[in-house]
Amino acid sequence: MKAAIATLEARLKQALVAAFGPDLAGADPLLVPASNPKFGDFQANGAMPLAKQLKDKPRAIAEKILAHLDVSDLCEPPEVAGPGFINLRLKTEYLERQLKAVQDSDRLGVEPAKEPQKVIVDFSSPNIAKEMHVGHLRSTIIGDSIARVLEFMGHDVLRLNHVGDWGTQFGMLITHLKESSPEALTSPESVDMGDLVAFYKEAKKRFDEDDAFKTRSREAVVALQSGDEAARTAWNALCEQSRREFQKIYDRLDIRIEERGESFYNSLLPAVVRDLENLGLLVENQGAKVVFAEGFINKDGDPLPLIIQKSDGGYNYATTDLAAVRQRTDKEGANRVVYVVDAGQSNHFEQVFQVAEKAGWVPENVELIHVPFGVVQGEDGKKFKTRSGETVRLKDLLDEAVERAQADMNSRIQAESREESPEFVQDVAEKVGIGAVKYSDLSQNRTSNYIFSYDKMLALQGNTAPYMLYAYVRVRGISRKGGIDFEHLPPDATVHLEDEAEFALARHLLQLDEVLEEVALELFPNRLCQYLFELSQKFNQFYDRCSVLQAEEPQRTSRLILCDLTARTLKLGLSLLGIQVLERM
């Protein structure tokens, strides 16, 4: 309905000028969706703020606007209501025409962005030699969804996994690997370190307890950084092993991402220091080279430095992030760089962005955006942990969701005396379980903390993945039962809206383009979730009140078109959340 909005807005502006003269050429008619369906489709609130300026009553102003407004091609006669709202209701024929156009469109009427951008979405970012855990859940799911939406809107998206593959901890890991599995140096592919977490813990334990080991580890860091072949090989083996583990999770979550870790930016770090120095931004502070960003002070009330180069000459993650900003704007030509990272790092990103701006590394057409999200909490409101108090591994979390989905399904199948193959149950449980984990995360406003609950996300009713998957399955059921091939409905078939439930569904279907545009701009996937949930509700109401297969023509085909549009919208919308639909469940 973006087209309708654009047209109505233009007409309202014309009417304002026609009614009150060219002084109002810049006035905003304040056209917004109607706050309540009984007021129609849209309302223009522009009359009220003009009362003072025009020295007239808002209702009288609204009447004068109406006298100069011709929207009869789109709308029923507009009405003035309340303190001065102009209510606009789209004509049924217009809705029907739009629905037909959407049905004929392979993008469901969603226009790609007029000015496609190069967008980098930086998300997930686990650490090499550590396991993916619940802390990576939100970034991975939210980042993937944002990337999917931007891709669908026609932007050129580069998904980057800024993995932690560099830093001092690699000294102890390399040393421990060399000493526990020397064969890693000759044939790194053959090495299986087994449980990476255990490996990391062993290395850490030795590092903390054994001074000689600690010394060898420090030497290993130097060796690695100076390009020593053996250190490099060991490092590669560690990365390779981690990569395989990460990929299992990404495959299961159906996530594509390109690894470009911290090490990628190594060669660019000295230039960051040099250029900041040349710009006069770098300050010596207790032996370290730092930049003071404005507005940051530490616990003691002193200015908070952003450390660019440590007193020992090493770099840290601020340096890497700055190098990445430059590389992404210069070499990748990014217009937007989206960092999907927890809200705890807001300070860090503010500082880094500020320094990058000051240094002149952020061209005018480039936007650096931190997309923050809250922490995952258990149902007790505390940090989400296992019963024994350990960090929850992502693999275990997904397993449990799927297991619970499967148990649910089995009891249902039994209760309904259905016969289903184990493969079917397994497939449905996997998609429902994974979909539920993703949906419950995405459906919340990401800025707040997120209370994780298997029971709620897997609930069969309410704003959950299973509810929406079921709405989709219902359409597929109609297709099977009626032998309907939705791809080959009669091309000349048209939509005729009669029942209230049909109108509500139709109006909602037509809002997809607005919602996706908003999500692409604001980067809040929960808006899309809200839209899809409401769509499912409206479809279920329609399904309840309007029989489809038993209806007489032409109503039958008209309703089939509504079913088809619903299914395609759900499928597309869910796919942009990274959720796969099912034919049966």
Partner RNA sequence: GGGUCCUUAGCUCAGGGGAUAGAGCAACCGCCUUCUAAGCGGUCGGUCACUGGUUCGAAUCCAGUAGGACCCGCCA
Please select the residue that binds RNA; options are 384, 439, 454, 533, rule is CB under 7 A.
533
Please select the residue that binds RNA; options are 77, 82, 182, 270, rule is CB under 7 A.
82
Q: Is 307 in the site for RNA (CB under 7 A)?
A: yes
Count of residues interacting with RNA (CB under 7 A): 104
Q: Which amino acid is at 389?
A: G
- Let me know how long the chain is: 585
Considering only residues 231 to 270 of the shown chain, the ones binding RNA according to CB under 7 A are 262
CA dihedral 387, 391, 393, 398 (to 10 degrees): 50
From 11-19, 187-195, 229-237, 449-457, give the range in contact with RNA by CB under 7 A.
Answer: 449-457
| Cα of 14 vs its chain's centroid, Å | 38
From 14-22, 26-34, 134-142, 235-243, give the range in contact with RNA by CB under 7 A.
Answer: 26-34
Asked whether 343 and 135 are in contact (CB, 8 A), the reply is no
- How far apart are alpha carbons 471 and 134 in whole angstroms? 30
From 64-72, 137-145, 326-334, 340-348, give the range in contact with RNA by CB under 7 A.
Answer: 340-348
Minimal distance in Å, beta carbon 80 to RNA?
Answer: 9
Minimal distance in Å, beta carbon 515 to RNA?
Answer: 12
Please select the residue that binds RNA; options are 30, 268, 283, 572, rule is CB under 7 A.
30
Minimal distance in Å, beta carbon 186 to RNA?
Answer: 29
Q: Is 285 in the site for RNA (CB under 7 A)?
A: yes
- Helix (H) and strand (E) counts for the chain? 20, 14
Sign of CA dihedral 98, 100, 104, 106: positive
Three-state SS annotation for 410-439 = HHHHHHCCCCCCHHHHHHHHHHHHHHHHHH
Q: Is 516 in the site for RNA (CB under 7 A)?
A: no
- How far apart are alpha carbons 121 and 135 in whole angstroms? 18
Minimal distance in Å, beta carbon 363 to RNA?
Answer: 26
Considering only residues 5 to 24 of the shown chain, the ones binding RNA according to CB under 7 A are none
Q: Which is nearer to RNA, 105 or 346 (CB)?
A: 346
Cis bond before residue 116 (omega within 30° of 0): no
Q: Is 92 in the site for RNA (CB under 7 A)?
A: no
Q: Is 199 in the site for RNA (CB under 7 A)?
A: no
3-class DSSP assignment, residue 131: coil
Sign of CA dihedral 241, 246, 248, 251: negative
Considering only residues 348 to 407 of the shown chain, the ones binding RNA according to CB under 7 A are 348, 372, 374-375, 381, 383
Minimal distance in Å, beta carbon 412 to RNA?
Answer: 6
Q: Which is nearer to RNA, 130 or 335 (CB)?
A: 130
Please select the residue that binds RNA; options are 9, 49, 107, 349, rule is CB under 7 A.
49
Considering only residues 145 to 174 of the shown chain, the ones binding RNA according to CB under 7 A are 164, 166-169
Q: Which is nearer to RNA, 157 or 567 (CB)?
A: 567
Closest alpha carbon to 511 in 547, 538, 493 = 538
- How far apart are alpha carbons 262 and 320 in whole angstroms? 7
Q: Which is nearer to RNA, 288 or 493 (CB)?
A: 288
Considering only residues 479 to 508 of the shown chain, the ones binding RNA according to CB under 7 A are 480-482
Residue with tokens 């080279």: 289
Q: Which CB contacts under 8 angstroms, 24+ apart, belong to 268-275?
A: 268/323, 268/326, 268/327, 269/315, 269/319, 269/320, 269/323, 271/323, 272/308, 272/319, 272/322, 272/323, 272/326, 273/308, 273/309, 273/315, 273/319, 275/359
Q: Which is nearer to RNA, 256 or 584 (CB)?
A: 584
Q: Residue 266: how many CB atoms within 10 A of its CB?
A: 14
Q: Is 472 in the site for RNA (CB under 7 A)?
A: no
Q: Which is nearer to RNA, 577 or 585 (CB)?
A: 585
Q: What is the DSSP letter of 226?
A: T
Q: Which is nearer to RNA, 215 or 365 (CB)?
A: 215
Q: Is 114 in the site for RNA (CB under 7 A)?
A: no
Tokens of 224: 């690695």
Q: Is 467 in the site for RNA (CB under 7 A)?
A: yes
Minimal distance in Å, beta carbon 250 to RNA?
Answer: 19
Q: What Å distances lie between residue 194 and 31, 344, 442, CA to CA?
A: 60, 32, 33
**Within 13 Å of residue 505, how many CA atoms lie on the same side as its CB?**
32
Q: Which is nearer to RNA, 116 or 374 (CB)?
A: 374
From 67-75, 90-98, 172-180, 540-548, give the range in contact with RNA by CB under 7 A.
Answer: 540-548
Q: Is 417 in the site for RNA (CB under 7 A)?
A: no
Triad 230, 269, 366: Cα angle to 5°: 130
Q: Is 474 in the site for RNA (CB under 7 A)?
A: yes
From 36-44, 137-145, 146-154, 197-205, give the range in contact with RNA by CB under 7 A.
Answer: 36-44
